[in-house]
Amino acid sequence: MDTLYDDFRATFHSIWHRRWLALGIAWSICIIGWLVVAMIPSSYESHARIYVQLNDALATQFGIGDNERQHDIDRVRNTLTSTKHLEQVIRATALGDNISSRKDMDSAVATLGKNIKVTSDQDNLFAISATSGSLGLRDADNSKLAKQIVQKMIDIFHDENLANNAGEMKDSMSFLDTQLASRQKELEAAEQRRLAFESLHPELAQGGVSMIQRLESDRSETRNIDGDLAAAQSGLAAVSGQMAGTPQSVAGVGVTGGARGALAQAQSDLAMMRARGLTENHPDVIAMRNQIVALRSQASAEGAGTFVGGVPNPAYLALQSQRADRQASIQALMARKASVESDIATATAQQTTNPDLVAQAQNISRDYDVLKQNYDKLLQGREELRLKGAVENTHNSIKFQVIDPPTTPRTPIAPNRPMLLFMVLVIGIGAGAGVAFAAGELRSTFGTTAKLGRVTGMPVLGAISQSLSAAGQAARTRKTMVFYATAGALGGVFVMLLAMEFVSRSMVA
């Protein structure tokens, strides 16, 4: 412990003995270091936050989904720091005042790109920050410039988001219009070829495929006609059978009537029942037949007292009319069948005799149908795109809101000048003390008797102290006071620089 204490005394004595050297070096290093710190420009950072809302029911209904909107926002965010946008920022702010060549612009763009950050705090929350530390500007100007840069970035974000979709929509509409015009010309040419072919071959109108379809339709219609014809012939046979059992006329009666008149009326009623389709086993028909048998017996007993002649039977006339209708229907069905069979024969003969012509008709019809489908699809797509663009322009689904406007920084983010000034002071004092100690070590002197004894290995009997006169003592005191004043001046300069730094910060508006 005594050895450590003696080393400390020796070191302190060596430095104190060369204190003016240490103080001079400390002053030199501090002055140079403080000048370097003063030349470092202060960097001010401004930041802002914006919120982008994507949800919108109307936009989603017309196919403008959140994923599409999020993709647009990510694209704008990623390209926000592109060279084109950075050049816009430079030209709109004080950064472009000294730009005179392309080389200067490229250098300014590279520097600005390092000083701008666009981050996403959440899905829809974006933070934009910019740093300005130009050496040629005052602190207040750098503070304002940082705010202007952030504001310009927000304007670009907003404009790109609104204008980009409009530009893409316009390009898409132009492309679709061009394609529609081209498809329309091809469709018109195909239609002219089809019309010219059909004018030469009307039997192949609407193409060979349509002819095959008509052939199948005619064959199906023939089967239907055969069924209707069989039903009509069966109905005609039934009506003819009913007419065979129905008298053409019935006996007329006089004023008194009698059994003959009643018999005639009963026979007429029985004929009407049969005309309605009642069978012979029907109770009404059986009762009417029994009544007729009884009336015939009475009519035979009466003689010819009240009969005056015969009249047409209404039931027979009705059956005759039904038979005429059935015959007319049969004739019409047979005529229709003959016409359809003729069409089938013609189409079959056409396919057999002109297969190349049928194939040509099929190709012409197929080409026209394909072009027509493509044209209709493009037309529908253009209308959907136009409606989508109208929704985006008149009812923009992105709600853009500035949550935190660009701030005006009051305190520089770099450099930490008070800390740098203090570090320079510490380094200066430490360097001065170190040089003074090294200079003492280079000389063959010893600060204490204990150190002399350890180095020489011999006992030290004593030491002679320096003795000064009164004048010498006064001179030493004056030099010591000057040293203390000079050292205090170094600390005073440090305090003054700190005060100037805080005053400068307070003056930043």
Q: Which domain holds residue 344?
A: 208-359
**Domain check: are 212 and 335 in the same one?**
yes
**Domain check: are 226 and 349 in the same one?**
yes
- Across 75-79, 410-414, 429-433, the highest mean pLDDT is recorded for 429-433
Considering only CA atoms, which of 328, 330, 320 is closest in space to residue 231? 330
Total tally of structural domains belonging to the chain: 3
CATH number of the domain residue 166 falls in: 3.30.1890
User: 417: which 2 tokens?
Assistant: 């000048």
Q: Is residue 139 scored above 80 in pLDDT?
A: yes
d(CA 132, CA 43): 5
Any domain includes 376 = no
What is the percent of the chain with per-residue pLDDT over 70, rounded to a whole number? 71
**Domain check: are 55 and 34 in the same one?**
no
Q: Using CA of residue 458, residue 462, residue 468, residue 473, what is the dihedral sign?
A: positive
Indicate the SS3 state at residue 303: coil
**Domain check: are 320 and 387 in the same one?**
no
pLDDT of residue 60: 47
pLDDT of residue 443: 66
Per this entry, what is the length of the chain? 509
**Domain check: are 11 and 60 in the same one?**
no
Q: Can you tell me the mean pLDDT for 478-507?
A: 90
User: 465: which 2 tokens?
Assistant: 């102290």
pLDDT in tens, 212-259: 666 777 788 888 888 888 888 888 888 777 777 777 666 554 434 556
Any domain includes 30 = yes
**Domain check: are 36 and 56 in the same one?**
no
d(CA 450, CA 441): 16
Burial class (CB in 10 A: 0-12, 13-18, 19+), 99: middle
Any domain includes 56 = yes
**Domain check: are 335 and 226 in the same one?**
yes
| Residue reference for tokens 């001179």 | 475
d(CA 331, CA 319): 19
Q: Give me the phi and psi of 404, to 5 degrees please.
A: -120, 110
Q: Give me the phi and psi of 42, to 5 degrees please.
A: -80, 135
CATH number of the domain residue 300 falls in: 1.10.287
Write the CA distances from 209 to 15, 90, 359, integer angstroms: 115, 68, 9
**Domain check: are 279 and 140 in the same one?**
no
**Domain check: are 20 and 110 in the same one?**
no
pLDDT of residue 30: 95
d(CA 124, CA 107): 33
- Across 23-37, 149-163, 254-268, the highest mean pLDDT is recorded for 23-37
**Domain check: are 426 and 331 in the same one?**
no
Any domain includes 133 = yes
**Domain check: are 19 and 89 in the same one?**
no
Write the CA distances from 501 to 21, 42, 211, 416, 505, integer angstroms: 30, 11, 98, 10, 6
**Domain check: are 448 and 400 in the same one?**
no
This prediction has a pTM of 0.50
Are 398 and 52 in contact, with CB atoms under 8 Å apart? yes
pLDDT in tens, 24-35: 999 999 999 999
Reported confidence tier of residue 426, pLDDT bands at 50, 70, 90: very high
Any domain includes 245 = yes
pLDDT in tens, 330-383: 888 888 888 888 877 776 766 555 667 667 777 777 787 888 888 888 888 777
d(CA 253, CA 265): 9
| Contacts for 35-41: CB closer than 8 Å, 24+ residues apart | 37/415, 37/417, 37/420, 37/421, 37/424, 38/497, 39/135, 40/415, 40/417, 40/420, 41/133, 41/134, 41/135, 41/137, 41/142
Any domain includes 199 = no
User: 473: which 2 tokens?
Assistant: 């003592």
Any domain includes 366 = no
User: 235: which 2 tokens?
Assistant: 């109905």
Any domain includes 53 = yes
Q: Is residue 323 scored above 50 in pLDDT?
A: yes
d(CA 320, CA 236): 10
